[in-house]
Structure 1
Amino acid sequence: MEEKKLYNAVRKYITLADGREIMIETGKLAKQADGSVVVKMGGTMLLATVVAAKDAKPDTDFMPLQVEYKEKYAAAGRYPGGFMKREGKANDSEILVARLIDRALRPLFPADYHAEVYVTVNLISAEKDIQPDALAGLAASSALAVSDIPFGGPISEVRVARIDGQYVINPNYSQMEQVDLDIMVAGTIDNILMVEGEMKEVSEEEMLGAIKFAHEEIKKHCAVQIELSKELGKDVKRVYCHEVNDEELRRQIIAELYDKAYAIATSGTMKHEREDMFNALEAEFAARYTEEELVEKAPLIHKYFHDDVQKKAMRNMILDEGKRLDGRRTDEIRPIWCETDYLPCAHGSAVFTRGETQSLATVTLGTKLDEKVKDEVLVQGTEQFVLHYNFPPFSTGEAKAARGLSRREIGHGHLAWRALKPMVPVGEENPYAVRVVSDILESNGSSSMATVCAGTLALMDAGVKLKKPVSGIAMGLISDSATGRWAVLSDILGDEDHLGDMDFKVTGTCDGITATQMDIKVDGLSYEVLAKALEQARVGRLHILGKLTECIAEPRAEYKPFVPRLVQITIPQDCIGAVIGPGGKVIQDIQKTTGTTITITEDDNKGYVDIFGENKEAIDGALARIKAIVAQPEVGETYKGKIRSIVSFGAFVEILPGKDALLHISEIDYKRFETMEETGLKEGDEIEVKLIGVDAKTGKLKLSHKALLPKPEGWVERERRPRGEHRREGRNDRKE
């Protein structure tokens, strides 16, 4: 009997400009999922699967999408850390990759599709020099492309880096040290959907060039997925019906409520007052129905009021009158006030308030022991500068408990960290570990950008020598495809983000962009609009920078009195062992007796010693001990040493910690001694000696106590001759 083949793999290939090849394979693994693919480049492989519920749950009126990204330690031949020795909850890096995928996929599902969709991407093989996050979006989209789940893609994501002035697609880890621009770009074959990344003060034109470069590569990836979908017959998607609409009710709501909603939108009221007025208007309309009727009609009333009345009123107001919900012009920044040194016991603190958005930022300075440890599948090491962002429910007036850290908090904190990172000194420029925490106390639009501004102020307040101050601004877009009209909004409100077509965050110094994050919610966004948004963002960013520098113009000259002091010195690499001592005995004794914390790291054939203490006296004491250990003996110098051992021809004296030298019996005194007993010296005695020489061959040190004594009257210094010279002269005399 002929053996039945258990799988039928289909493969497609994408060739990058440098000749590297990406393979997309389906039909071999995870065949019970609605769609599954393996994306492979070099030795790196990602397995992406997608599964959708057959129907929507009752009363679901949104898109329940869940995206997970997980890196398997076995993929790189590593054991997980920790006691359990297995993969646990997603780390920050995995969450950030999942967010990149989610933000690109979510806008492309049909608005009326409400079935639960689960997208899972696993790193199952990892070549050490290949960055897998650049392939994750392509893998997720390919899994959707080979499924029958309704989706408006395909999409792809690529990393663009600039190396020596040239843009490169999906560079390797080893190339990243040379880059001055690093962004992830997602898009369809026609449009850009998402941008996120960091830069070293690049111009708006350079960033726009990188986005265009990325889109040309994305088009190739999408074309291959379209070809794969058609070949498998998956270009026709499943039929569904997740919404039942009442067009008569929709028309009635628009006719009765639009003008009233427009009046509220143009009233220029504050956030909560405006929300109350909109809610009251909706409730007034709903009050005409009985409780039984509202069971069916209430969700539809809310939907039509939100989408067809409230949203359109706000958008038309901006496009028709150039007026916004709070009365501002499209390019106007909300009022700003800020204050530094707000918390008297923090190492650095600041409050930044822009309109109804407020961040309280703190800075804490620590030692190398406080640095964040990264132990990921492909990335290990430490981070000297970290930033954490917290978004409690009370910041928006919500009555609910704060439970755990959300993915949004991790993503917003990461963006602010990227914004400040190029300007925070590290390494030899700054021995401290630096932690910034932003607590959002009020929120109505772009709290992540408020975090950047508050973080800048707090760092300067702490005395961290920030290279340049950094500010951030969130831009929005309102567009009308029917008329071709559009307006770019500076410093958007929460409602303008929610009801608008773009959320474009840009951070930077006076000289260029340091980080960006962009999510686009409409098709056909032109590069003209992007260029306009970038220029308007630049002007707004500089305005905000001016407000920051009015508050504090430059970093404080000194750290605050209660900030523990940290001194860093370098020592020869071969002296590290002496400072540490056997089993850490020496360094532990120094820390205990001086009350300091000491860390030692090696780099570039040097040892870097960080001494962290509560006061100058403690640090000076530790410094003296370490300098004595690493000090190099100098010929001609005088030392007070301790006799470690007595031998027949002299004594070994410790002149520096761990450094013994010979004091020969003939160099103890001008008087001649036949035995060491006659000298009266014994082990443990302290004696002052002078270093008179170093043996050129052995490096052994020669000491003299005699050289420090006054010469006896009539003393004649005999000429020193090389060993054996007297014997040779005697033999020559006899021959003659």
Structure 2
Amino acid sequence: MSQIITQTIALPDGRTITIETGKLARQADGAVVVRLGDTMLLATVVSAKEAKEGVDFMPLSVDYQEKFAAAGRIPGSFQRREGKLSDHEVLICRLVDRALRPMFPEDYHADTQVNILLVSADAEVLPDALAALAAAAALSVSDIPFNGPISEVRVAKIDGEYKINPLTSDLARATLDVIVGATEHDICMVEGEMQECQEAEVVEALKIGHEAIKTQIAALKELEAKTGKTEKRVYSHETHDEELRQLVHGQTFEKALAVAKQANANKKVRSESFKAVFEEFKQQLFPEGTEVDAAKLALAKRYYHDVQWEASRRLVLDERYRLDGRKLDEIRQITCDVDYLPMAHGSAVFTRGETQSLTTVTLGTKMDEQIVDQAMYQGYSKFLLHYNFPGFSTGEVKPNRGPGRREIGHGNLAHRSLKKVLPADADNPYTIRIVSDILESNGSSSMATVCAGTLALMDAGVKIKAPVAGIAMGLITDETSDKYAVLSDILGDEDHLGDMDFKVTGTESGITACQMDMKVNGLSYEVLAQALEQARAGRLHILGEMQKAIQVVRPDLKPHAPRAVTLKIEREFIGAVIGPGGKVVQEIQKESGTTIVIEERDNAGYVSIFSNNQEGMDKALSRVRGIVAVPEVGEIYDGKVKTIMPFGAFVEFLPGKDGLLHISEIKWERLETMDGVLEVGEEVRVKLIEVDKKTGKFRLSRKALLPKPVNKNPS
């Protein structure tokens, strides 16, 4: 029986995180249970003893799954069991993966899997801020090589104060909500959203988050020492040929640097030029008639990749300009088109350099809302954003198998960026779906999605609070000196060869979302502040370019978009509008061709009517208003005769409301019989003259609307 070891971490608000190892999942290389409140995560890590032949990268997989039993629930799916990871779970996988992956040794290539399971769910403790801590703890108690530890915390600004891992109920009031990942010395990952916050607020949040992480990392080191896992396994996953490395560098570096200095804005041409340099070297390495050594060729390709990386970085650091000829803070050429697709409710094409997004907006009814069924949350979502990245956008052959984790993550960043400027639910009866199809990609297609999404929303006539733009920032540093360069609007190549990918979105007033991944250590807060300020300037420039296409939200929806009118009614009328078994509302929808959604909230009823046809909308509105109208004595109504009796007729003067038109109230002249006076179905204008206080019955009069005859023979 293995020894059970525990470690505690104190949070600033007095709560305690407990880490336990040695009790569960003992056959994994490392396993821990992390607990805060009644939320518990089981994290395990397993790594193969040897790397597969030919693998020259880190095959890491991170899976996070929420068990419905953790929240005392049965899954709502047809199978009634957990299945494919939801988008919510995938996003948490990415939070952990992005912080862990850069921390493994570059030459470690063994298959490694991290599994994190939510096994107990406390509604007041969100598990996403604990997942990376649990994964890092599992690695700490294993013998797997890892250049950590790392950890993550949530930082939220609530009522003007920064809080670490706040309660769920308090998070609803947050104006800033970010998850920060870091090592003991450096921040490595940021993901979050804000309500048009200033750059200084973001920097302060990262500083506070990092201080909390330092405490957690100290605890992980103590846990590692307790388990005796300070010595990690010995491995050898790479073989090198230093003589070949020097040969590749000596024969190709100056030529690769010359290609980089050509400053060609065309990605394909630049790529072919770099390939030509290696092909020339390959001919020297394996002259015609010489057998090609596959292993040696593979090493040469790897070393040439390092040459490209170095040459491209030296260009930026030494020459202060970039692969496509731009200055460090220069934005690529931008073109914007709106109303591109005639039948979409809103559409836009946003092109920046060689990155292009075709984005649509579709307006739906409440019936189109997405059902959300998660272990810790059940509800509906009326704002959807989907991001698609087909192979042709980069000139590749790639089967369409549905969205991958990258697409889900990019779509979520754009979703967070735009949801902050959508109209409040009370002012927006629509379900809104944005779809971004990336048609070309060479750097930051997620930011193109934000820009195109804004333009499409404005084109659709959605009353957003302010336009949002996004920009991706890069960083290149020199380990041998204090040189560095902050790059605005990075290319795909610059993302690959750089040390940072920092995406920032926002309005003219402030930041709405951000995402950062660091690939090196040593990002100072001064450099971070510079990157944010440079991002702000770039964001304002992009907003100015977008304004050339459309300056303000269109005053009306497209002719073919569904119109929506919402009526607030008294709570007691809800049943009358619905009718027995839904008979009344179904009849109205059938007759008018509309879609009607009835909700009860805030102790009142809300009737939302959707229609592409104004005549149908008017008909439905008239019916509903008639049902909920309160009859007033003295008001005149257009009614319809429902039944005829010897003493008068019953007239429906409002939908569902009949009144008696007595024989004496039909004409000023005395009528002896109802024969031939009125017919069933006949329309008749009447005046409400009395409501019986005891029975609530209505008395109508027709003669009150007719001129009183003049008596020609007064007595």
TM score, norm. by length of structure 1: 0.91
CA distance in 1: counterparts of 2:184 and 2:648, whole angstroms: 87
Q: Comparing 659-668 with 486-495, which one deviates more in the overlay?
A: 659-668
Does 2:297 align with 1:301? Answer: no
In the alignment, which residue of structure 2 is the partner of 1:443? 441
* SS of residue paired to 2:286: coil
In the alignment, which residue of structure 1 is the partner of 2:102? 107
How far did residue 173 of structure 1 move? 2.4
The Cα offsets for residues 204-249 of structure 1, whole Å up to 9 and x where unpaired, read as: 0011111111111111111111100011001111111101111111
In the alignment, which residue of structure 1 is the partner of 2:401? 403
The Cα offsets for residues 381-405 of structure 1, whole Å up to 9 and x where unpaired, read as: 2222211111111111112323221
Q: Which amino acid aligns with 2:277?
A: L
* SS of residue paired to 1:88: coil
How far did residue 344 of structure 1 move? 2.0
Q: 1:245 aligns with which of 240, 245, 269?
A: 240
How far did residue 106 of structure 1 move? 0.3
Q: 2:494 aligns with which of 493, 496, 506?
A: 496
In the alignment, which residue of structure 2 is the partner of 1:220? 215
In the alignment, which residue of structure 2 is the partner of 1:274? 270
CA distance in 1: counterparts of 2:153 and 2:137, whole angstroms: 14
In the alignment, which residue of structure 1 is the partner of 2:125? 130
CA distance in 2: counterparts of 1:345 and 1:679, whole angstroms: 55
CA distance in 2: counterparts of 1:708 and 1:336, whole angstroms: 68
Q: 1:165 aligns with which of 149, 152, 160?
A: 160
CA distance in 2: counterparts of 1:177 and 1:647, whole angstroms: 62
8 Å CA contact 2:65, 2:116 repeated in 1: yes
Change (3 A) 1:486 1:73: same
Q: 2:80 aligns with which of 76, 81, 85?
A: 85
CA distance in 2: counterparts of 1:202 and 1:297, whole angstroms: 53
Q: Which amino acid aligns with 2:247?
A: Q
In the alignment, which residue of structure 1 is the partner of 2:279? 283
How far did residue 294 of structure 1 move? 2.3
CA distance in 2: counterparts of 1:377 and 1:582, whole angstroms: 35
* SS of residue paired to 2:464: coil
* SS of residue paired to 2:494: helix
Q: Comparing 64-73 with 650-659, which one deviates more in the overlay?
A: 650-659
What pairs up with 1:102-501 in 2 under 5 angstroms? 102-269=97-264, 270-287=266-283, 288-289=285-286, 293-307=292-306, 309-501=307-499
How far did residue 516 of structure 1 move? 0.4
* SS of residue paired to 1:461: helix
CA distance in 2: counterparts of 1:512 and 1:135, whole angstroms: 29
In the alignment, which residue of structure 2 is the partner of 1:600? 598
How far did residue 337 of structure 1 move? 1.5
Change (3 A) 1:459 1:652: same
Change (3 A) 1:264 1:711: closer
* SS of residue paired to 2:455: helix
What pairs up with 1:580-595 in 2 under 5 angstroms? 580-595=578-593
Q: 2:513 aligns with which of 509, 515, 518?
A: 515
In the alignment, which residue of structure 2 is the partner of 1:734? none
How far did residue 691 of structure 1 move? 3.0
How far did residue 646 of structure 1 move? 9.0
The Cα offsets for residues 510-540 of structure 1, whole Å up to 9 and x where unpaired, read as: 1100110000011111101100100111111
* SS of residue paired to 1:161: strand
CA distance in 1: counterparts of 2:644 and 2:162, whole angstroms: 71
Q: Comparing 520-529 with 334-343, which one deviates more in the overlay?
A: 334-343
CA distance in 2: counterparts of 1:256 and 1:214, whole angstroms: 47
The Cα offsets for residues 145-192 of structure 1, whole Å up to 9 and x where unpaired, read as: 111111111111111111111111112222232111111111111110
How far did residue 11 of structure 1 move? 1.5
The Cα offsets for residues 68-113 of structure 1, whole Å up to 9 and x where unpaired, read as: 0111111111121122111110111110010010000000000000
CA distance in 2: counterparts of 1:78 and 1:696, whole angstroms: 52
* SS of residue paired to 1:489: strand
Q: Which amino acid aligns with 2:603?
A: N
The Cα offsets for residues 575-603 of structure 1, whole Å up to 9 and x where unpaired, read as: 11111111111111111111111112222
Q: 1:553 aligns with which of 551, 554, 559?
A: 551
Does 2:67 align with 1:72? Answer: yes
Q: Which amino acid aligns with 1:277?
A: S
Q: Comparing 524-533 with 396-405, which one deviates more in the overlay?
A: 396-405
CA distance in 2: counterparts of 1:642 and 1:618, whole angstroms: 21
CA distance in 1: counterparts of 2:684 and 2:328, whole angstroms: 83
How far did residue 125 of structure 1 move? 1.0
> What fraction of aligned residue pairs are identical, expressed as a percent?
61
How far did residue 430 of structure 1 move? 2.4
Structure 2: gaps (5+ residues): none
In the alignment, which residue of structure 2 is the partner of 1:717? none
8 Å CA contact 1:384, 1:426 repeated in 2: no
How far did residue 370 of structure 1 move? 1.6
Q: Comparing 93-102 with 696-705, which one deviates more in the overlay?
A: 696-705
Change (3 A) 1:686 1:43: same
* SS of residue paired to 2:348: strand
Q: 1:525 aligns with which of 523, 526, 537?
A: 523
CA distance in 2: counterparts of 1:247 and 1:684, whole angstroms: 100
Q: Which amino acid aligns with 1:197?
A: G
8 Å CA contact 2:650, 2:660 repeated in 1: yes
How far did residue 200 of structure 1 move? 0.8
Q: Which amino acid aligns with 1:294?
A: D
TM score, norm. by length of structure 2: 0.94
8 Å CA contact 1:286, 1:294 repeated in 2: no
Name which one, 1 or 2, has greater alpha-carbon Rg. 1
Q: Which amino acid aligns with 2:395?
A: G
Q: Comparing 377-386 with 389-398, which one deviates more in the overlay?
A: 377-386
In the alignment, which residue of structure 2 is the partner of 1:657? 655
- RMSD over aligned Cα, in angstroms? 2.6
Q: 2:537 aligns with which of 524, 539, 542?
A: 539
CA distance in 2: counterparts of 1:689 and 1:556, whole angstroms: 44
The Cα offsets for residues 525-562 of structure 1, whole Å up to 9 and x where unpaired, read as: 11011001001111111111110001211112222222
CA distance in 1: counterparts of 2:400 and 2:660, whole angstroms: 70
In the alignment, which residue of structure 2 is the partner of 1:721? none
How far did residue 133 of structure 1 move? 0.9
CA distance in 2: counterparts of 1:685 and 1:403, whole angstroms: 62
CA distance in 2: counterparts of 1:18 and 1:289, whole angstroms: 66
* SS of residue paired to 1:89: coil
How far did residue 314 of structure 1 move? 1.0
8 Å CA contact 1:11, 1:23 repeated in 2: yes
8 Å CA contact 2:649, 2:660 repeated in 1: yes
